[in-house]
Amino acid sequence: MGLGSVSEFCYNLTESYLSIKNNTEIISETQNAIRLTRRYLLEDIFTLWNPLNSEISFSYNGGKDCQVLLLIYLGCLWEFFQMHTRASQFDAKYHQFPSERLPAVFIDQDEIFPTLEQFVTDTVDRYFLSLYESLRDGGKSADMSEAFRQFLKMNPETKGIVIGIRHTDPFAQNLLPIQRTDPDWPDFMRLQPLLHWKLANIWSFLLYSGEPTCGLYKLGFTSIGNINETNPNPYLKATEHTVDDCKFQWEIENAYNKSCSSISCSALHGDDIERAQKLDDDYFPGWFLTDDSLERAGRIKRK
């Protein structure tokens, strides 16, 4: 396995999702969301910057949104490679996938959940990422813009950074799929092809993929920030709320990656299990929540 093989796997996964017929409204909506993301990548982004020569980096923190985007992005890399192979005068057998690792950047913030940290490490291997991790300044993390400034200094060939932000995230309503950073930020193109995705689309595709997701989602987290600023989502409390039956039963039962027998979540770190045991309530898993307006209800606001 290498970056080429995992990209081919993700291409086949995406094609498989797109070929699902006569299913739920969520699935057909997600199929349209995938088509648009692929169009942004293949027709708008990869025609301006070459994704196979380090002009593009992927911002990755192990969260569900960037994982979904990563799976689709890798599938598009395979498609891009195939298009170039077909256009070449040489037979396909003479073409080798030109990169071994996908350039990626992780801004290592303080107080990260150890389960998430481990998940990032595991997926670096799984998806063949070449991950730049920002340096913590004496144990304290640098602010985001400073961390990206440092990243660009060390990776000056970077022109664009892929970000898994969605319109329903804070301050993201008016963002565009391709836009320059604000003047007070280090200069690069923000590549945001996931903006139009809803929470239900994310879970539908991710659960269908059968790929391991960060174990914290199983504990009722729906969006993951720092340890001291994130709780399981109160709208998933088993004792106080009734939630609909899981809307993704079909995806779970028909998951593409059959090597995992049921929903595949990464192992929980002991400290996070202990933290969960101290909570007063039990929680339904994160994918039981599909209301975008409640996705960040587990985030505690900084004073």
Distance CA(9)–CA(134), nearest Å, equals 29
State which of positions 109-138 bind ligand ATP (CB under 6 A). 109
CB 128 within 8 A of CB 3: yes
Q: Applying CB under 6 A, does 106 fall inside the site for ligand ATP?
A: yes
Smallest gap, in angstroms, from Cβ of residue 249 to ligand ATP? Answer: 21
Kindly tell me which residue out of 54, 158, 223, 231 binds ligand ATP, with binding defined by CB under 6 A.
223
Alpha helices in 88-169 (DSSP H): 114-126, 144-154
Q: Does 107 bind ligand ATP (CB under 6 A)?
A: yes
| Spatial distance between the Cα atoms of 236 and 285, rounded to a whole number of angstroms | 7
# residues contacting ligand ATP (CB under 6 A): 17
Q: What phi and psi, each to the nearest 5 degrees, are found at residue 179?
A: -155, 150
Taking CB under 6 A as the rule, does residue 163 contact ligand ATP? yes
Q: Is 181 left (phi over 0), alpha (psi -120 to 50) or beta?
A: beta
- What is the smallest separation between the CB atom of 4 and ligand ATP, expressed in angstroms? 23
Please say which residue, 119 or 208, places its beta carbon nearer to ligand ATP: 119
With binding defined as CB under 6 A, does residue 37 bind ligand ATP?
A: no
User: Measured from the CB atom, is 55 or 117 closer to ligand ATP?
Assistant: 117
With binding defined as CB under 6 A, does residue 34 bind ligand ATP?
Answer: no
C-alpha 163: how far from chain center: 9
Radius of gyration of the chain (CA): 19
Q: Under rule CB under 6 A, which residues in 48-77 are in contact with ligand ATP?
A: 59-61, 63-66
Length of the chain: 303
Helices then strands, counting H and E runs in the chain, come out as 8, 8
Tell me which residue has its CB nearest to ligand ATP.
Answer: 63
Q: Which residues bind ligand ATP (CB under 6 A)?
A: 59-61, 63-66, 105-107, 109, 163-165, 169, 223-224
